[in-house]
Amino acid sequence: MKQVVLELKDLQKSFGDNHVLNGFNLKLYEGENLVVMGKSGSGKSVMIKCLVGLMGADSGSIKIKDDDIVSLGQKELDILRTEIGFLFQGSALYDSMTVRENLEFPLRRNKGKIKTGQTTEELVVEALENVGLVSAIDLMPAELSGGMQRRVALARALILKPKIILYDEPTTGLDPITSKEIIQLMRTIQKTYKTSSLIITHDVDCARVISNRMILLVDGINYAEGTFEELSASEDPNIKAFFKN
Ligand X SMILES: Nc1ncnc2c1ncn2[C@@H]1O[C@H](COP(=O)(O)OP(=O)(O)OP(=O)(O)O)[C@@H](O)[C@H]1O
Residue 178 backbone phi and psi in degrees, to 5: -65, -40
Question: Least separation, in Å, of the C-beta of 231 and ligand X?
Answer: 18
- Nearer to ligand X by Cβ, of 42 and 179: the residue is 42
Binding interface with Mg ion (CB under 5 A): 44-45, 89
Question: Least separation, in Å, of the C-beta of 160 and ligand X?
Answer: 25
Asked if 53 touches ligand X (CB under 6 A), the answer is: no
- Nearer to Mg ion by Cβ, of 89 and 110: the residue is 89
The closest alpha carbon to 183, from 150, 227, 157, belongs to: 150
Element (H, E) at 179: helix 176-193
Asked if 18 touches ligand X (CB under 6 A), the answer is: yes
Question: Least separation, in Å, of the C-beta of 172 and ligand X?
Answer: 8
Asked if 40 touches ligand X (CB under 6 A), the answer is: yes
Q: Are 31 and 23 in contact (CB under 8 A)?
A: no
Asked if 170 touches ligand X (CB under 6 A), the answer is: no
Asked if 45 touches ligand X (CB under 6 A), the answer is: yes
Residues 202-221 interacting with ligand X (rule: CB under 6 A):
202
Instruction: Determine the 3-state secondary structure of 154 from DSSP.
Output: helix
* Residue in the shown chain whose Cβ atom is closest to ligand X: 45
Residues 183-202 interacting with ligand X (rule: CB under 6 A):
202
Cβ atoms within 10 Å of 222's Cβ, excluding its own: 18
- Total number of residues shown for the chain: 245
Side by side, which strands form the sheet with 164-168? 84-87, 164-168, 196-200, 33-37, 213-218, 221-226
Of 2, 3, 41, 138, which lies in the binding site for ligand X, with binding defined by CB under 6 A? 41
Distance CA 157, CA 13 (A): 26
- For the chain, the distance separating the N- and C-terminal CA atoms, rounded to the nearest angstrom, is 36
Q: Nearest 5 degrees, angle CA 13-CA 17-CA 20?
A: 35
Binds 27, which of Mg ion, ligand X, none (CB < 5 to 8 A, cut-off by type)?
Answer: none
Residues that bind ligand X (CB under 6 A): 15, 18, 20, 38, 40-46, 89, 202
